[in-house]
Each structure stands twice: as structure tokens, then as C-alpha cells.
Amino acid sequence: MNKGDKLQHKIIYSVAVSVFFCICLPFLLPSLSLAGKPIRIGVYLPMTGPVAAFGQMEWAGIQAAHQMRPTVLGRQVELVLVDEKSDRIEAANAVSRLLKKEKIQAIIGSATSSNTMAGSALSEKAKIPMVSPTATLPLVTQNKKYVFRVCFIDSFQGEAAAMFAYRNLKARRVAVIVDRAQDYCVGLASYFKKAFTHLGGKIVSMAYCQTGDQDFSAQLTSIPASQSDLLYLPNYYAEDALIARQACELGLNIPILSADGAQAPELIKIGGKAVEGLYLLAHFAPEGAATPLAKEFMEFFKKTRHEETSGFHALGADAYFVLLDAIKRAGRTDGDAIRTALASTRGFGGVSGIIKIGPDGNAVKSAVILQVRGGQFKYLTIVKPW
Amino acid sequence: MDLSLFLQQLLNGISLGSLYALIAIGYTMVYGIIRLINFAHGDILMVSTYFAYFGISVYALPWWLSVVMAILLTALLGILIDLGAYRPVRHAPRISALITAIGVSFLLENLGLVVFGGRPKAFYRPDFLDKTYELGGVRVFSLSIWVPLVTALLLALVFLLLYRTRVGAAMRAVAKDMEMVQLMGIDVNRVISLTFAVGSALAAAGGIMWAMKYPQINPLMGIIPGLKAFVAAVIGGIGNIHGAVLGGLLLGITEILLVAFLPSLAGYRDAFAFILLILILLFRPTGLAGKDTIG
């Protein structure tokens, strides 16, 4: 046998051994863990595409929460992530894959309202409970028995924003640019409009754009003529950052008020000086965190991820913690048992505050108002639900 | 709408339109020479902005050096794409090359998602481009002046290359009759490689100007500029270089004026661009500037 043959044998042998181990591994692992089959929780989030920042932050929060509490009912919890690519059709595909192929017991997702609705149509039919971290459009849970969320809803957010604009910022004439391609943006804009006109203010300019638009000069140019004293942007961070920049370039120097969809580091990175002073409503501020779980999570998150906890981390984690709590109280993992337990969540001390699931599957929670100062989101005040 | 407001909107339109034009030049040049609609043009543009981003923000090079390097690297990428994807199907039916181009486009997008990540990155803008001037009630943003200047300069350079150099003569010859040129002893593959290098460098120039104007880059950012540039090229008559500039300006201005005059239709501006494409293809398939193609 010559040298080359020897080498070949060695390679074949080592490949065979490693293949053998790879095949055996799945059989060995469960026998090492103490009890039963793992509980599988499906997660579908936008990991890529226009709102990838939400998905990636929520996933980081969910993963950290999972590391903190990896077991329930004495069984391991397994997370299965599918990317919904910030796309409605992909969101439906993701949920259908979770339901049919991954055999999950419950679902966490998604980050945006439109895509959560695209996915929940399927999970509702399969009677699998779903908890969305941040889908805020009221419609998301209406007439849905198995869909829940851990965030506030836009009817509350729009009203809170209108009150803040009218009372604190003393705005009377507001210009709005709204992303027409997102149910969230359209819904929020109309709640704001209703509440603001009810307070006695006026919407003097209503302009539209579309997710992924880069040029807003045409919409912004017509705003000065309307003599507005506030620009309201109920959109996602990528559009809001570019709108703010172009408003600066066109010399539009009125304050900007934005919404929870703008709370991503990208808003500040892309917006730069133009977003300095921008106000926004948000779900969570570390300064406002009070529950023991929040303290524990923020410490854990800082230690493992070397990052401060932001709103989307917190809500991702809360979706996981609330679901875990429901599974624990249900004592079983069938869809209906988890659903009943979720619906009866009361006074759960989550990361983003005390969570109570209302009759329609919505969390009743307070909002915080932040302002961008010195390139950071700074806590201004808290708005309690009324 | 008063005059200054109208002028402002017109300027917004020229500013956007000259960006479309800049991207469309490379698109239409490649088509004019090798009759391939390079659907990956927009994605090559995207990659170039990441090259520049890495130079500026990661390796902390001066911005102009990063831009030059990004353009050179993108030209190289163009050559590699031609070598790996288009050369093997050079003599296959034209539809194969078109499908290959779509494949390259998807490959670059998804590679971008894996390598660069899906979250947008902020693009650097040099200070001298970040100024605004006030001219009789109209606000002029300095990039709105620079982009048309760069477009005009590159247009002139492309004409110089095509009509005043030996390589340009070879390119025009390839455009006329590829087989015959081969018989005349010209290395067709080299000429086409060079065409892709120039086309990609033009995409890079367009992409970097785009990223400076809209300082946010992500792996899918090339799709819409690429499609709009394609529409601009078809409006002007695909293969016709000054037609592409005309088409780009026309598209940009009509888009802005549509949003300005009919604000409720603002969500449909992309749809409008594609309706324009369909109309042009129906009623004037050779484009507005006609069939004055390269060669």
C-alpha cells in the first residue's frame, strides 16, 4: 500500500466515524436531558428586509429569555426560527412551515401587524396559539381566538400621541406623512387624526408614501405652505430616518413626533443630526422598568449580549415569558389549554411592565415617550392606559 | 401652487431624474454593445455601495479613496460576473442570457443578505455635499447640483470612450456584428469583459451617488433603482445612451410632479413608472430618442 492509499483510507475512516456520530447525536441528546420530549415553540420574524431591525432585536430578546428560562413543566423548550423576510407572503409561508413541518406547540411572531395577520390566519385554523411581541394594529386580534399580543394597541397609542402633541408640544396644525403600504401606519395615522381633531387640533396636510421609498422631497416640499407646527410620522424607522433627513435638507424646521415603529438604532444611525430632538412613543424604556423580571433580564442581557435592553428586546422576551407562564399554568401543551391559560394572564410582571391580557387578547399596558438627544433615546415620561 | 413651489418641485424632479439617468447610462451601454438586458445592474450597484461603506466606515479610509476603490472593485466584479455567468451562455439563445442575468441578480441579493446582514447601514456623506443654498425662495441641496454634473461628466466620458478610442471602436464593432469581428482578429471576449467593467463602474458611480443622496444601504436597495433605470433606458430607447439620460430625467420629473400635484396617488409612484414602461412599449417600442444605438 502506498502513501496516497493510506491517506485515502484515513480520510474515509474519519469521515465514516464523524458521519456515524452525526447520525447518533440526535438519539443520544434527548437521553441525556432529564425528561420527555422538548416543547417546540415556533418563531417567525423579519430577519431580513425593510424591517429586519425589529426581527433581529426581538429574536435577540427571545433567545436571551430562553437562555434565562430554558425549561417548563420539567421539559426543555426548543425554539425554531423562520425568517419571514418582511414580506406578507413569506410570513404566511413561514407559519405554514412551522405548523406542518416543524410540529410546534405555540408560535411567537411577528413583529409587524400586516405580517402577523398574514400568518395568524393559518395558526388560527390550526388552533395553535400565537403571541405577537409588537403587532399593534387593533385588527390583529379581533375575532381571533388564538392570537394574543404583549404590546399596547394603536388606538391607545394614537390617542396618547395626539394628547402629547396637543398638550405638551402645544401643536395645533399637524402635517402627516404615512406609509400607505403598511396596515400599521395607516391605522395609527387615522387613530391619531381622530383623537387630535377631537382635542381641537387640525390635520393640515396628509401625504402618503410606500415602504422602501427613498425620495420624499415631493411630499415634504408642500408642507411649509400648510403652516403646520408639527410633523407626525407613524411609520417604520427606515422611512422616518430618510424623511427627517430630507426635511432638514428642504429647510423644514418643525418638531417631529414618531411612533413605536421608529425605535431602532438605525433611526439614529441613518437620521444623524436630522433626528436630534425627535419625539416618539415607545413600549419600553430601561429607566421606567420596575418589575423584578425586568431587572433580572436587563442584567442578563447586558452580561450575555453586551448591549442595553431596548423596547424590541423587551417585548420579544415578554412574548416568550408570557407564553412560558401560560404553558406552566396550563400544565399541558395542547393548543386549547395554552390558549385558555394565555387568555387568563393577569398581573404578570414582564420585562416591559405588568401585563394583563384583556378579553380580546390584547395586553393593557402603558406607553413611554422618548426623545432623541445626543444620539440616544432618552426617557421623557410615561403614559398610563385610561 | 405658486411659482417658487413649482420650481422647487421641478428641481426635486431633476435631482431624482439625474440619478435615474446616471444609473441608466451603464444599463443601456451594456445592452447597446452585447444586447443583454443586465438585470443584475441594480444589484451590482448595491454591492458597490457596500464596498464604499466598508472603505469609509470599517477601514476608515478617506471617502474619495474609498469611492475610487469601490468603483475599481465593482468593475472587477463586473468582469468576474461576465466570466462566470454570461460567457458560458454567450452563444446560447438570448433568452438564456436574460434568465442568467436574473439568476445573477438573485445571487447577489441573497449573498448580500448573508454577508452584509439584512439591517440597513448608514452611508457617509461628505460635508461639502451636505449643504443647502437658498436661491430666490428655492432651496437647492448641493447634491442636487453634483448629481447632474457627475451624470454629464460620465456621459461625456462614455462618448469619448466609444467614439475616440480603439477599444471603443472595437466595442461598436462588437455591437454591429460579433461573428464578423471575431474573424477580423479581435478578441471578442476581452472587449465584452471590458464592456462589463465599464458598465459596472458606471453602476458603482450611480450607486454611490444614490447612497449619498439617500444615505441608507441594504442588500435589496438595488432593486428599485435598477428597475427605474431600466424603465428610463426603455423610455429613451434601450441601447441609446443619450436617450437613457433623457428617459431618466423625464421619469424623475414626472414622478415628483405626480406626487406633488396628486398627493393621494403618492403610494402608486412605482406603479406609475411601470405603466409608463408599458405605454412606451405599446406605442413607441424604440423609445423617445429612437433607434440611434451604439454602432
Residues of chain B with pLDDT under 70: 1, 291-295
Residue with cell 491517506: A7
The strands making up A256-258's β-sheet, listed across from edge to edge, are A202-209, A173-179, A230-233, A256-258, A279-282, A367-373, A376-383
pLDDT of residue B267: 77
CA distances from B10 to A253, B16, B139 (A): 22, 10, 12
pLDDT of residue B295: 56
Pairing of strands A256-258, A39-45: unpaired
Residues of chain A with pLDDT under 70: 1-35
Q: Determine contact: A253 vs chain B, CB below 8 A.
A: no
The share of chain A scoring above pLDDT 90, in percent, equals 77
CATH of the domain at B16: 1.10.3470
What length is written for chain A?
386
Question: Which of B12, B118, B210 is closest, CB to CB, to A218?
Answer: B12
End-to-end CA gap in chain B: 46
Rounded Cα–Cα distance for residues B54 and B83 (Å):
25
Q: Give the SS3 label for residue A26.
A: helix
The share of chain B scoring above pLDDT 90, in percent, equals 73
| CA nearest to A244 within chain B | B214
Does residue B130 form part of some domain? yes
Taking the CA of residue B227 as centre, how many other CA atoms within 13 Å lie in the half-sphere pointing to its CB?
14
Report the residue of A180, A183, A214, A237 to disrupt the B interface, i.e. the one with the largest count of B CBs within 10 Å.
A214
Q: Sort residue A156 into left (φ over 0), alpha (ψ -120 to 50) or beta.
A: alpha
Q: Do B122 and A270 touch (CB under 8 A)?
A: yes
Residue A235 is classified by DSSP as S
Contacts of A214 in chain B (CB under 8 A): 210, 213-214, 216, 224
Nearby residues of B25 by Cβ (< 8 Å), 6 or more positions away: B151, B154, B155, B158, B202, B206, B241, B244, B245
Question: Which of A56, A221, A269 is closest, CB to CB, to B8?
Answer: A221
Residue with cell 458603482: B204
pLDDT of residue A19: 57
How many domains are there within chain B? Answer: 1
**How many A-B residue pairs are in contact by the CB < 8 A criterion?**
100
Rounded Cα–Cα distance for residues B295 and B285 (Å):
19
Does residue B176 form part of some domain? yes
Question: Which of A56, A210, A249 is closest, CB to CB, to B119?
Answer: A56
Q: Determine contact: A227 vs chain B, CB below 8 A.
A: no
Residue with cell 466570466: B83
Does residue B179 form part of some domain? yes
CA dihedral A174, A246, B222, B45 (to 10 degrees): 180
Q: Do A249 and B139 touch (CB under 8 A)?
A: yes
Q: Cell numbers of A276, please? A: 436630534
Report the residue of B110, B119, B139, B224 to disrupt the A interface, i.e. the one with the largest count of A CBs within 10 Å.
B119
Pairing of strands A376-383, A367-373: antiparallel
Residue B128 is classified by DSSP as G
Contacts of A266 in chain B (CB under 8 A): 119-120, 122, 216
Does residue B83 form part of some domain? yes
pLDDT of residue A31: 45
Nearby residues of A6 by Cβ (< 8 Å), 6 or more positions away: none
Measure B183 CA to nearest chain A CA, in Å: 48
Rounded Cα–Cα distance for residues A69 and B93 (Å):
59
Residue B76 identity (one-letter amino acid): L
Does residue B250 form part of some domain? yes
Rounded Cα–Cα distance for residues A198 and A93 (Å):
41
Q: Do A217 and B113 touch (CB under 8 A)?
A: no
Q: Do A180 and B218 touch (CB under 8 A)?
A: no
Q: Do A270 and B113 touch (CB under 8 A)?
A: no
Does residue B212 form part of some domain? yes
Q: Name the nearest CA neighbour of A256 among A242, A266, A264, A269.
A: A242
What ipTM did this prediction achieve?
A: 0.88
- Pair A131, A44: CB distance under 8 Å: no
Residue A106 identity (one-letter amino acid): A
Q: What Rg do the C-alpha atoms of chain A give, in angstroms?
A: 23
Does residue B289 form part of some domain? no
Contacts of A52 in chain B (CB under 8 A): 117-120, 218
What structural domains and CATH numbers belong to chain A?
39-152+289-365 (3.40.50.2300), 155-282 (3.40.50.2300)
Q: Name the nearest CA neighbour of A285 among A313, A319, A257, A322.
A: A313
Q: Give the SS3 label for residue B219.
A: coil
Q: Cell numbers of B117, please? A: 446582514
pTM of the shown model: 0.86
| CA nearest to A274 within chain B | B130
pLDDT digits (tens, 9 = 90+) for A28-86: 454 444 457 899 999 999 998 888 899 999 999 999 999 999 999 999 999 999 999 99
Q: Which domain holds residue B167?
A: 3-283
Q: Do B118 and A214 touch (CB under 8 A)?
A: no
Question: Which of B117, B213, B263 is closest, CB to CB, to A208?
Answer: B263
Does residue B242 form part of some domain? yes
Residue A257 identity (one-letter amino acid): L
